[in-house]
């Protein structure tokens, strides 16, 4: 009986090590600081702010939603789908691409993006891009951005 108890305790210990308890998917509506998450979805009309956090997967920002990442690492992609705002700032790092489709406001400030940026915006926006890669604005481009930094102003997309 004692052997069975030790085996059960060993199994529980292995499972605790193999699956980190702090990482999880999040439907974000609020402010979160210092969290480790898998994927993040900002629901329609919600506001989500991540500060000093890590997203192991992707961030998807839905219609009329606001997303801000400050000093946050997103290992995957960030995608705005008819979002109100996608704001990546102050030391944030996105490992994948950033895409904003029919998003009202888009900002990348003092942050790094590992792959490309593609914008299809209906409002105004600006980006200070620091890293290497290309970006497109309303199907125009690709334009290069460099480790020294590039400023990109964005005008409205006239196509629906």
DSSP secondary structure string for all residues of 17-85: HHS-SS---EE--EEEES-EES-EEE-TT-EEEEES-EESS-EEE-TT-EEEEES-EESS-EEEES-SE
Q: What is the percentage of the chain residues whose pLDDT exceeds 90?
A: 44
The pLDDT of residue 8: 45
The single-letter DSSP state of residue 131 is S
Region 2-11 average pLDDT: 47
Return the minimum-mean-pLDDT range out of 6-15, 75-84, 133-142. Answer: 6-15
User: What residues make up the domain containing 115?
Assistant: 22-154
Q: Is residue 2 part of a domain?
A: no
The pLDDT of residue 110: 80
Indicate if the pLDDT at residue 96 is higher than 90. yes
Rounded to two decimals, the pTM is 0.73
Q: Is residue 94 part of a domain?
A: yes
Region 27-53 average pLDDT: 98
- What is the number of domains present in the chain? 1
């Amino acid at each position: 009986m004692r052997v069975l108890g030790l085996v059960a305790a060993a199994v529980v210990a292995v499972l605790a090590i193999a699956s980190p308890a702090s990482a999880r998917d999040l439907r974000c509506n609020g402010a979160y600081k210092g969290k480790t998450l898998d994927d993040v979805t900002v629901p329609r009309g919600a506001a989500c702010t991540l500060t000093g956090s890590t997203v192991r997967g992707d961030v998807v920002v839905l219609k009329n939603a606001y997303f801000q990442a400050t000093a946050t690492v997103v290992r995957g992609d960030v995608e705005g789908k008819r979002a109100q705002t996608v704001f990546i700032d102050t030391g944030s790092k996105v490992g994948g691409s950033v895409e904003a489709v029919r998003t009202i406001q888009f900002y990348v400030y003092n942050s790094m993006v590992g792959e490309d940026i593609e914008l299809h915006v209906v409002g105004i926006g600006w980006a200070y891009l620091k890293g290497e890669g290309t970006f497109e604005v309303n199907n125009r481009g690709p334009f290069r951005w460099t480790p020294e930094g590039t400023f990109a102003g964005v005008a409205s997309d006239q196509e629906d």
